[in-house]
């Protein structure tokens, strides 16, 4: 190898070369975009390595090595001396590759142990004849010679890794589909969804998780203090009442409503476990969030370049408007099915939505699309008002949309639910590594993030409109106890906010079968899936976003 080549850029992790040999896209996501996900297989591997100890001769395990000349750094599992030569050992919990001449190392494991052999030879100045990979599932040790061919293989891999590290273009999904099944980053990469978009009739293997990893923790008590005790989040009410404790590992986010306090220690615990903290007003208006942002530079550069292109924005805006209006239209049709009188009364409203849909493909700019979306919204909300049953108290009925402030009970509940949706969408956008202030449909205004408002349009109907209408017709709302009414403003009371949070969180956990990808997942995961599909629109895999519809 040319040892002078290591001076270009920061050193490569040996584990990154393992990822490179497995899949170039995996290397790029982990090393360039710094997206790393630990699944069950990763945790099992960590437990194996933690259990390894020095053998009876006291030989070293878990030794960290680095060499600027090679441009490599890493932690080798073990170094042993055999026949006058040092040998790096790598321990793998799985099975070895079955070759024609017997057990072999997998290509990624082979490159990894070769890299460690090069590091040991360079750092110690002692000869290294081979590396060895121990496969515990087979109880087999495979020997990997450290010869000229191995050195050339390592040099080529380092060159490829540096080239990819300097690129802003994400490599395509792996051609070998079997690699994706065992990849921890499949929920981020979405290889099966990409393949299904290219071949619509192709059955899609389920690699995206059906449910969210944790639960949302809403703190609604005014004046409460959120603190930390070990690995738990502790909420202490202002009146000295009973504390509420939640293990941090069970949470995916904390939502602080109104005038509550959170300690620095609790914030540090949330950051360490990548649990986002969101602040909302007592009326449900989104205020701000904490979220990790390391490694998102490349993703945001691509987003900025794409959304500076009017053609890209127009294409995405048209897909979004179509998705939203079609879902509104289908909901009104479905909710009025079997009621001819209701369907006849709703006909003028349905005509407005159909007219807007028919006009979407005509020539026009984003302003035209926003006008069509607004026209459809007029018909939709008139139709929505007709879905409130006669048994619902008149004070809970809807007459006209009012936002800031809501002037009736329906609008207060509607706006509070939209605030919860805003937070859920923000969480998904940040998880996908996107910049929420760079959107394509809504224009920047006040503190609202345009991209969040954009993505919300796909979920207003299924995640809150349907939930609110259904709960009203089931008699779940108390016009007096659940609302606080003053002259010129109405908002939810403490009991009303708790009721809305429970309804929304229950809806997030409900599952449905995605009509495009063909598998079932929770609504919480559906939001994240759409955020990740949106990001693919400007990474060489377009046509995946905003294809979900109500059935």
Chain segment 221-275, per-residue pLDDT in tens: 889 999 999 999 999 999 888 899 999 988 888 999 988 999 999 999 998 888 8
Average pLDDT over residues 528-539: 89
Note the pLDDT of residue 44: 46
Note the pLDDT of residue 182: 82
* Non-local CB neighbours of 142 within 8 Å, separated by 6+ positions: 96, 103, 104, 105, 132, 133, 135
Q: Is the pLDDT of residue 4 over 70?
A: no
pLDDT, tens digit, 9 for 90 and up, residues 101-135: 889 999 999 999 999 999 988 888 888 888 999 99
pLDDT, tens digit, 9 for 90 and up, residues 416-450: 999 999 999 998 898 888 889 899 998 776 667 89
Note the pLDDT of residue 8: 61
Average pLDDT over residues 497-502: 94
Could you tell me which of 320, 318, 314 has the C-alpha nearest to residue 458? 320
| Of 142-156, 501-515, 536-550, minimum mean pLDDT range | 536-550
The residue among 195 and 47 whose pLDDT is bigger is 195
Note the pLDDT of residue 446: 60
pTM of the model: 0.79
Average pLDDT in the chain: 86
Note the pLDDT of residue 50: 46
pLDDT, tens digit, 9 for 90 and up, residues 38-95: 444 444 444 444 445 444 444 546 678 888 888 899 888 888 887 777 888 888 888 9
Q: Is the pLDDT of residue 20 over 90?
A: yes
How many degrees, rounded to 5, is the angle at CA 425 between CA 423 and CA 426?
60
How many degrees, rounded to 5, is the angle at CA 268 between CA 497 and CA 242?
45
Q: In what order do the strands lie in the sheet with 225-229?
A: 244-247, 232-236, 225-229, 261-262
- Which of the residue ranges 118-127, 294-303, 319-328 has the most confident prediction, judged by mean pLDDT? 319-328
Percent of the chain with pLDDT over 90: 46
Could you tell me which of 546, 541, 525, 432 has the C-alpha nearest to residue 173? 541
H or E element in which residue 421 lies: helix 409-431
Average pLDDT over residues 151-172: 91
Note the pLDDT of residue 261: 92
pLDDT, tens digit, 9 for 90 and up, residues 384-420: 999 999 999 999 998 888 777 888 899 999 999 999 9
Please state, in angstroms and rounded to a whole number, the distance separating the CA atoms of residues 347 and 266: 54
Tokens of 413: 């509940």
What totals of helices (H) and strands (E) does the chain contain, helices first?
19, 20
| Of 263-267, 287-291, 327-331, 460-464, minimum mean pLDDT range | 287-291
Average pLDDT over residues 274-284: 87
Tokens of 443: 């224009």
- The answer to whether 527 and 253 have CB atoms below 8 angstroms apart is no
Tokens of 101: 């001449």
Strand ranges, E, within 152-294: 215-219, 225-229, 232-236, 244-247, 251-257, 261-262, 276-280, 286-290
Please state, in angstroms and rounded to a whole number, the distance separating the CA atoms of residues 494 and 476: 15
Average pLDDT over residues 354-374: 90
Q: Is the pLDDT of residue 150 over 90?
A: yes
Average pLDDT over residues 275-294: 81
The residue among 545 and 53 whose pLDDT is bigger is 545
Please state, in angstroms and rounded to a whole number, the distance separating the CA atoms of residues 208 and 532: 11
Please state, in angstroms and rounded to a whole number, the distance separating the CA atoms of residues 295 and 51: 31
Please state, in angstroms and rounded to a whole number, the distance separating the CA atoms of residues 299 and 170: 9
First to last CA, the chain: 59
Torsion sign over Cα 129, 152, 4, 12 = negative
Where do the domains of the chain lie, and which CATH numbers do they carry?
3-25+42-154 (3.90.320.10), 215-290 (3.100.10.20)
Note the pLDDT of residue 282: 85
């Amino acid at each position: 190898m040319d040892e002078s080549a290591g001076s270009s850029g920061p050193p490569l992790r040996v584990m990154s070369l393992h990822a490179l040999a497995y899949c170039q896209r995996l290397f790029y996501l982990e090393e360039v975009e710094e997206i790393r996900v630990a699944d069950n297989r990763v945790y099992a591997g960590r437990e194996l390595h933690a259990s390894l100890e020095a053998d009876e001769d006291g030989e070293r395990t878990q030794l960290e090595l680095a060499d600027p000349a090679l441009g490599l750094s890493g932690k080798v599992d073990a170094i042993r001396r055999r026949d006058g030569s040092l040998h790096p050992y790598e321990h793998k919990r799985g099975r070895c590759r079955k070759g024609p001449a017997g057990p072999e190392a997998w290509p990624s494991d082979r490159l990894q142990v070769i890299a460690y052999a090069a590091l040991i030879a360079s750092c110690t100045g002692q000869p290294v004849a081979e590396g060895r990979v121990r496969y515990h599932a087979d109880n087999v040790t495979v020997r990997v010679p450290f010869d000229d061919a191995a050195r050339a293989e390592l040099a080529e891999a380092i060159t490829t890794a540096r080239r990819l590290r300097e690129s802003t273009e994400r490599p395509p999904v792996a051609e070998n589909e079997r690699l994706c099944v065992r990849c921890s980053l499949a929920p981020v990469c979405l290889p099966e969804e990409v393949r299904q978009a290219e071949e619509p009739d192709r059955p899609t293997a389920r690699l995206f998780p059906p449910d969210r990893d944790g639960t949302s923790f809403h703190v609604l008590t005014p004046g409460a203090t959120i603190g930390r005790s070990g690995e738990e989040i502790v909420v202490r009410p202002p009146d000295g009442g009973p504390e509420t404790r939640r293990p941090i590992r069970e949470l995916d986010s904390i939502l602080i409503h109104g005038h509550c306090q959170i300690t620095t220690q609790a914030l540090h615990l949330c950051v360490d476990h990548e649990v986002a903290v969101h602040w909302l007003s007592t009326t449900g208006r989104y205020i701000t969030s904490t979220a990790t942002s390391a490694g998102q530079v490349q993703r945001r550069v691509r987003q900025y370049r794409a959304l500076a292109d009017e053609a890209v924005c127009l294409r995405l805006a048209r897909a979004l408007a179509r998705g939203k209006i079609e879902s509104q239209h289908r909901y009104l049709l479905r909710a009025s099915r079997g009621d001819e009188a209701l369907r006849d009364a709703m006909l003028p409203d349905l005509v407005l939505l159909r007219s807007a849909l028919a006009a979407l493909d005509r020539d026009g700019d984003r302003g035209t699309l926003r006008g069509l979306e607004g026209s459809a919204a007029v018909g939709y909300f008139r139709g929505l008002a007709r879905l409130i049953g006669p048994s619902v108290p008149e004070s809970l009925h809807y007459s006209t949309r009012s936002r800031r402030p809501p002037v009736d009970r329906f609008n207060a509940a509607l706006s509070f639910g939209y605030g919860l949706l805003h937070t859920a969408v923000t969480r998904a956008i940040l998880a996908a590594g996107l910049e929420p202030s760079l959107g394509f449909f809504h224009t920047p205004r006040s503190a609202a993030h345009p991209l969040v408002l954009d993505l919300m349009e796909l979920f207003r109907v299924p995640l809150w409109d349907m939930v609110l209408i259904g709960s009203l017709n089931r008699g779940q709302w108390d016009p007096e106890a659940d609302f606080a009414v003053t002259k010129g403003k109405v908002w939810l009371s403490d009991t009303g906010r708790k009721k809305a949070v429970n309804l929304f969180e229950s809806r997030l956990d409900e599952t449905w079968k995605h009509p495009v990808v063909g598998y079932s997942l929770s609504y919480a995961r559906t939001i994240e899936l759409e955020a990740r599909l949106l990001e693919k629109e400007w990474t060489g895999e377009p046509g995946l976003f905003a294809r979900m519809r109500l059935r």
